[in-house]
Structure 1
Amino acid sequence: MDALKIRLQNACELLKKEGFDKAIIGDPMSINYLTGISIIPYERYYGLVVDADACSATMVNPSVDTGCMKGTVKEVTYLDSDGPAAAIREVVGECKKLAVETKYFSMAIGEIFHGLGCEVADIGNCIAKLRMCKDESEIETMQFAAKIVDEAIAYVSDKIKPGMTEKELNMMLYSYMSTYPGFITDEFIILVLGADNSANPHGVSGDYAFKDGDIILLDFCAYYKHYWSDITRCLFLGHVGNPKLAEIYDIVLRANLAAIAKVKPGVKACEIDKAARDVITEAGYGELFLHRTGHGLGLSVHEEPNISSDNQLVLEEGMTFTIEPGIYIEGVGGVRIEDDILVTKDGCHIFTTTSKKMEDHILKY
C-alpha cells in the first residue's frame, strides 16, 4: 500500500475513533498530505470530503479548475454563478456527525455546513496529529530540503563583502536555491539582518549595507517538493565587532545543544523548551529570549508541534520541528541558532548540518 493510501486509511480510522462519519478538509496543506496534490484556492471554495466508513475521499472544487486532482480522487465541480452549496450537499449526502476545519473555513461556508442537516463539529487536531509524525518519503524530502539551505550558506559565505546590502544577500540566497530542481519559488522566507537589525526576531531585509565587524543573521527556508526546511546561522564579517555578541553567541549555542540533547520519544515538548530556556535564564538573559524554542515543520513552515513552555505534548518517533533559541539586545544585535530536528526511536536526528561554531562563521574578505 502506498503512502497516500496509508495516510487516508489512518485519517479515516482516527475520524471514526473521534465519532465522525465524514470530514471536510479545506487547508491546502492537509489536502496535499492526503492526496499528494497542491492546490491554490484563492477566493474559491475547495473542500476534500473524507468518508470514514468507505475510506474514500471526494473533492468539491470550482469548474474552472476541473481536473485539479489529476485523477487521485473523484471531483464534483460547481459553477461560480451557482456557488458550492449544492455540490457540498451532494457529496456529503447522509451523515450524522460531520467534522470540519472551523479555523480554516469562513463563516459563510460554515452556514452551508450547518444547513446540511447533520451535527457539525470542529475537527480539532485529527489531521494535525497525523501530519506531526512523518513517514519515510516525507523524511527523505525534508532531509534534501535541509541540504539545500546548508549548501546555500556555504555558497554565499565567501561572497559577502562590506557594502553588500541585506536585500542583495537575500536575493543571492534565493537565486542559488532556485537552481535546485524541485525547489518551489512561489513561496519563500528569507531573513537577512545585519548589525543591530538582527535584534528583531522577525525583521525584514532592507537596504542596510554591511560593515566590517557586523553580525549578519541569516534565517531562511527551502521549500522543496512542498516540504520546508528552516535554518538560522549568524555570520561575522571580518571579525566579531562587539564582544557582547560573542558572549551571547556562546550562551545561545549552549542552549541549542542542551535542547537537542533532551529530544527523544516520551519527553514533553515543554521540557525541550525548558532545557534551552534554563541555559539562557541562568546566564542572565531570560527576559531577552523573546519566543518559543521551536515550531513544527513539514508541509507548513509552522505547524504542530510547538516547542513551547506550555505544550504538554509527548514527543513521538517521526515528529519534526525546529530548535531555535535566541537572545536579542536592542542597539547591539541578536543571536539565534536554529536546527531542524527529527525524533528517532532512541533520540533525534539533526537534518541541518552547517557548523554552529562561531569561529567557522567569521568571514574573510
Structure 2
Amino acid sequence: MRASKFIRNDTFHGFGRADNIGRTAGRGQDDGAAGVCDGGRGDRGAVPNAAQEPTLAPEVFSRRVERAQAELNSRKLDCLIATPSTNYEYFTGYNPGRSERLIAVVLPAIGKPVVVCPAFEVERIKQHSALTDARGWEEQENPYKLVRSVVRELKPHGNGVIALEPTTSYGVYVALADQLSGWKFVDGAPVTERLRIVKAPEELALIRRAIEITEAAIAATFAQLAAQVTERDVAQLLSREMQQRGAPGGGLVQFGPSSALPHGGPAGPKLERETVVLIDAGCRVAGYDSDITRTTWFGDSPSAEFRKVFNLVHDAQTAAMQLGRPLYTQCQEMDRAARTVIRDGGYGPCFTHRLGHGLGMDGHEPPYLVEGNETRLEPGMVFTIEPGIYQLGKFGVRIEDDCLMTDTGVEVLSHRVAKL
C-alpha cells in the first residue's frame, strides 16, 4: 500500500512525550525487545559501498588499532585475526562481506595491521578501508599461506597466541590452524567486547542521530495509520519514512494479539479500531544503530486493562532507569528492578525476555541487562531498557528506550513517552 493511502483519522494513546525525569534518569522513552536490522548477528554482511565508506575521521581508526594493541599486549596475545564482520568493520571502516574467498585483517600486538584478500580486491579494499596495507593472493594460491607469511613477519621465531574474532567460521579456523601449526588460538571476544563496549564521543553522536531519525519515522508512521491497513503495509511505510530521512532501517509492526509475541512477524489481521499497535524500530547511521519500541492504542479511548498494563510497564522502566549508578550497578540489578515492579503488579510471568541489551554497531551487543550478568555499567556504555508485558491472545505492551550510562547515572537518549 502506498503511503499516500494512509490517512490520519484516529486518536492515539500512549505515544505522547513525557516530561524529563532528570538528565541522569533520562529524557525518557520506552524500552523494547530485540528486532533491529541484523538480529544481533555478529556478521551483518556487506552493504553497498557508498554506505560503507568510512565516515569517521582516519584518526578514529588509528586510535582503535592502538587500543586493540594495548589490549592484546595486556593479555599476552600476539595478534587478532578477523574476517569480514562487525569487528572487522570496527577496525577498518569497511565490511566487504564474506564469501568463499578469504578476506582477513591481521592486527598485531606490535606493528601495522595487514589485510589479506584476493589480488583483484586489493584496490577496492584500499579505496574503502581505513587500513592501507592490503596484500593479495592469486586465485590458484592457498590464501592461508599468505596469512602465515604475514604472521611470521610479525613474529619470525617461535610460536605464539592468536585471538580469533568470535564470528569467524570453523572452516577458516581449521585452515589457519593447519598453516600455523604450533600456534595457540583463543577466543577474541574478550578483546573486541572490551574495545567496543564503551562508546567514544564520535560513536555517541552517530547513535544520537539514528535515534532522532527513528523517533521521527515512528511518529510519522503512527500519524498515517488508518483502519484496514496490514502490518506489512505499516512496516513498509516505516521503512520509507526512515529512508526519506537518510537512513536505512525498519522494524516490527504488530496489531492486537500479534503484539503479545515479542518477535512476531507482519502476518496478523488488518487494523481495526480500539486496537493495540506496537512498533519496534531502528535505523543505521554510518554503521551505528538505534532500537526503540512504542506501543499505542488506535481508537477513541484505551481500555482500562491497556492503561493498567501500559502504566505498569512504564513504572518498571522508570525503576530501572533510576537505579543505574556508574561503576556500581550490575546489569542483572537493572533487570531485577524492572522485573520486581511487574511481578508486584501481578504480571510477573508475562515479562518473558531480558530487560535490555547493548547498542552500537550491532543492534544487539554487550552489555546484556539480564539475570546472571554481573557486569557493572560504566560511563560510555549504551544500552536499551525495554520491559514488556505479553498476554497471549490479547495484547502486549513494550516500551523501549536507548540509554547512556554517564558519570552521574542513566541518561535516556530518546524521548520517553508519558503514562496514560
Is the structural similarity TM-score above 0.5? Answer: yes
Amino acid at match of 2:145: A
1:98 has 2:161 as partner: yes
**TM-superposed deviation, 1:208:** 2.1
User: Conserved in 1, the CA contact under 8 Å of 2:114 and 2:135?
Assistant: yes
What is aligned with 1:113? 176
What is aligned with 1:72? 130
**TM-superposed deviation, 1:80:** 4.1
**For structure 2, which runs of at least 5 residues remain unmatched after alignment?**
1-57
What is aligned with 2:201? 136
Moved more, 91-100 or 159-168: 91-100
Q: Distance in 1 between matches of 2:165 and 2:223?
A: 48
Query: Which secondary structure does the structure 1 equivalent of 2:73 belong to?
Result: helix
| Change over 3 Å in CA distance of 1:61–1:326 after alignment to 2 | same
Q: Distance in 2 between matches of 1:205 and 1:174?
A: 13
What is aligned with 1:22? 79
Q: Distance in 2 between matches of 1:166 and 1:233?
A: 15
What is aligned with 1:205? 266
The counterpart of 1:335, out of the listed 392, 397, 400, is: 397
**TM-superposed deviation, 1:38:** 2.8
Kindly provide the CA deviation profile for residues 141-177 of structure 1, in whole angstroms up to 9, marking residues without a partner as x. 0000000011112212221111111111111110010
What is the alpha-carbon root mean square deviation over aligned residues? 1.8
User: Conserved in 1, the CA contact under 8 Å of 2:166 and 2:188?
Assistant: no
What is aligned with 2:60? 3
Amino acid at match of 1:85: Y
Trace 1:201-280 onto structure 2 (pairs within 5 A). Answer: 201-206=262-267, 208-240=269-301, 242-266=303-327, 267-280=329-342
Trace 1:79-90 onto structure 2 (pairs within 5 A). Answer: 79-90=138-149
Q: Distance in 2 between matches of 1:358 and 1:216?
A: 16
Moved more, 307-316 or 45-54: 45-54
State the TM-score, normalized to the length of structure 1.
0.92
Q: Distance in 1 between matches of 2:213 and 2:164?
A: 33
Number of residues paired by the alignment?
353
User: Identity of aligned pairs, percent?
Assistant: 28
Q: Distance in 2 between matches of 1:273 and 1:331?
A: 26
**TM-superposed deviation, 1:23:** 1.2
| Change over 3 Å in CA distance of 1:236–1:18 after alignment to 2 | same
Q: Distance in 1 between matches of 2:325 and 2:189?
A: 26
User: Conserved in 1, the CA contact under 8 Å of 2:84 and 2:97?
Assistant: no
What is aligned with 1:350? 412
Moved more, 3-12 or 235-244: 235-244
**For structure 1, which runs of at least 5 residues remain unmatched after alignment?**
360-365
The counterpart of 1:59, out of the listed 105, 112, 115, is: 115
Query: Which secondary structure does the structure 2 equivalent of 1:127 belong to?
Result: helix
Q: Distance in 1 between matches of 2:289 and 2:277?
A: 22
**TM-superposed deviation, 1:98:** 3.0
Q: Distance in 1 between matches of 2:389 and 2:372?
A: 20
Kindly provide the CA deviation profile for residues 188-236 of structure 1, in whole angstroms up to 9, marking residues without a partner as x. 4410000000000001112521111100000011111110000000011
Amino acid at match of 1:72: A
1:310 has 2:366 as partner: no
User: Conserved in 2, the CA contact under 8 Å of 1:214 and 1:240?
Assistant: no
Query: Which secondary structure does the structure 2 equivalent of 1:33 belong to?
Result: helix
Q: Distance in 2 between matches of 1:103 and 1:134?
A: 20
Q: Distance in 2 between matches of 1:97 and 1:314?
A: 32
The counterpart of 1:179, out of the listed 214, 225, 244, is: 244
Query: Which secondary structure does the structure 1 equivalent of 2:290 belong to?
Result: strand
Q: Distance in 1 between matches of 2:66 and 2:279?
A: 40
1:325 has 2:387 as partner: yes
| Change over 3 Å in CA distance of 1:80–1:310 after alignment to 2 | farther
**TM-superposed deviation, 1:249:** 0.8
1:161 has 2:222 as partner: no
**TM-superposed deviation, 1:83:** 4.1
What is aligned with 2:353? 291
**TM-superposed deviation, 1:28:** 1.8
User: Conserved in 1, the CA contact under 8 Å of 2:357 and 2:384?
Assistant: yes
Q: Which has the higher contact order (CA 8 A, sep 6+)?
A: 2
**TM-superposed deviation, 1:308:** 0.5
User: Conserved in 1, the CA contact under 8 Å of 2:80 and 2:165?
Assistant: no
